[in-house]
């Protein structure tokens, strides 16, 4: 379909793959942690970063699945530097035990109402708060590495166009755990809005600190992955017609890999991307007051 192949200002399009957007880039010497790396776009992101010479740490909940992905990558790319590390982003205890960030990708979508081990609404806990804590724990190390190596650090939050369909107030700070007002798809949109706001507010803090680190967010595209596992109807439809209208993992991982490695985005921070091109999020996603409030709210939660 010609529309999907139409290139934007970056020279890439909807149909570009992760290998295509990183073609010719030598990333030897860089280290990245990729969450949700045991399947889908996380696994493909891991593979392509490793292909370009990055030492990749896979953050996975299921170590058996992670090891299978790792072994497959090493079999294909014998020189690949890949290791798997157990990481459950829904649990702050699990996240605290991590010692390394590049791609905040792991996520769940439109789940029934559930609370995390820390008694926080599960989608917000997994999609936003776990990544917020992981990034917070790694920032000092990233700053030191960027300063000593002279190479820019990059933080990439995988958001979604679903941020457009959050609750009317954007983030329900006072009703986060209110089951009676819970709507699974709006809660998902809320967590994806939080990903964008996090990257934007983080950009402000990094600039204030004079750190050579960027933070951006992105929409990977509608992708036929296991994110739809909590909705049997949608999952069935996607498996039937998805190959005609949805991205495959190589295409879905493209924007993440573009933001992680491409020289075109050097120094670019606090922006939202789609199809490896700049995109325009909602006005709520650009609300600096809301971003600051979310930052303070999240900091209080991780320090509780």
Given a contact cutoff of 8 angstroms between Cβ atoms, the answer to whether 256 and 47 are in contact is no
Mean pLDDT (whole number) for 67-72: 98
pLDDT at 224: 74
How would residue 55 be classed by pLDDT, with cut points 50, 70 and 90?
Answer: very high
Q: Pick the catalytic residue from 167, 182, 188, 272.
A: 182
Active site residue 167: no
Which residues, 6+ apart, have CB-to-CB distance to 256 below 8 Å? 18, 41, 45, 103, 105, 156, 158, 218, 220
How would residue 99 be classed by pLDDT, with cut points 50, 70 and 90?
Answer: very low
86: enclosing H helix or E strand: strand 81-86
pLDDT at 93: 73
CA 16 to chain centroid, in Å, comes to 18
Output the average pLDDT for the chain: 91
Given a contact cutoff of 8 angstroms between Cβ atoms, the answer to whether 33 and 97 are in contact is no
Residue 234 has pLDDT above 60, yes or no: no
User: Among 30-34, 164-168, 179-183, 217-221, where is mean pLDDT lowest?
Assistant: 30-34
How would residue 225 be classed by pLDDT, with cut points 50, 70 and 90?
Answer: low
Dihedral sign, Cα of residue 73, residue 76, residue 77, residue 78: positive
137 vs 95, higher pLDDT: 137
Dihedral sign, Cα of residue 21, residue 131, residue 235, residue 187: negative
User: Among 45-54, 63-72, 137-146, where is mean pLDDT lowest?
Assistant: 137-146
Closest CA to 152 of 140, 139, 143: 143
DSSP strands (E only) in 107-160:
153-158
pLDDT at 95: 60
pLDDT at 2: 43
pLDDT at 1: 43
94 vs 216, higher pLDDT: 216
pLDDT in tens, 153-200: 999 999 999 999 999 999 999 999 999 999 999 999 999 999 999 999
State what percent of residues in the chain have pLDDT above 70: 88
Q: CA-CA distance, 11 to 8, in Å (whole number)?
A: 5
Given a contact cutoff of 8 angstroms between Cβ atoms, the answer to whether 250 and 44 are in contact is yes
pLDDT at 265: 97
């Amino acid at each position: 379909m010609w529309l999907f192949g139409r290139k934007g200002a970056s020279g890439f399009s909807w149909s570009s793959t992760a290998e295509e957007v990183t073609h010719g880039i030598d990333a030897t010497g860089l280290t990245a942690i990729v969450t949700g790396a045991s399947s889908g776009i996380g696994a493909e992101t891991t593979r392509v970063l490793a292909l370009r010479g990055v030492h990749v740490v896979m953050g996975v909940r299921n170590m058996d699945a992670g090891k299978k992905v790792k072994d497959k990558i090493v079999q294909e790319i014998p020189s690949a530097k890949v290791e798997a590390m157990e990481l459950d982003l829904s649990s702050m205890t699990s996240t605290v035990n991590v010692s390394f960030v590049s791609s905040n990708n792991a996520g769940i979508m439109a789940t029934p109402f559930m609370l995390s081990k820390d008694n926080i609404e599960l989608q917000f806990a997994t999609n936003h708060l776990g990544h917020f804590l992981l990034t917070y724990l790694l920032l000092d190390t990233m700053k030191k590495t960027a300063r000593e190596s002279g190479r820019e650090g990059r933080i990439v939050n995988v958001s979604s166009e679903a941020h457009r369909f959050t609750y009317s107030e954007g983030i329900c700070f006072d009703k986060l755990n209110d089951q009676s007002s819970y709507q699974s798809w709006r809660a998902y949109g809320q967590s994806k809005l939080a990903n964008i706001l996090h990257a934007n507010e983080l950009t402000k803090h990094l600039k204030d600190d004079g750190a050579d680190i960027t933070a951006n967010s992105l929409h990977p595209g509608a992708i036929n992955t296991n994110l739809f596992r909590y909705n049997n109807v949608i999952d069935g439809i996607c498996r039937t017609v998805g190959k005609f209208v949805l991205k495959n993992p190589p295409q879905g991982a493209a924007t993440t890999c573009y933001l992680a490695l491409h020289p075109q985005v050097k120094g670019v921070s606090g922006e939202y991307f789609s199809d490896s091109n700049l995109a325009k999020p909602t006005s709520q996603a650009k609300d600096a007051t809301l971003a600051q409030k979310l930052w303070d709210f999240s900091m209080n939660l991780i320090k509780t």
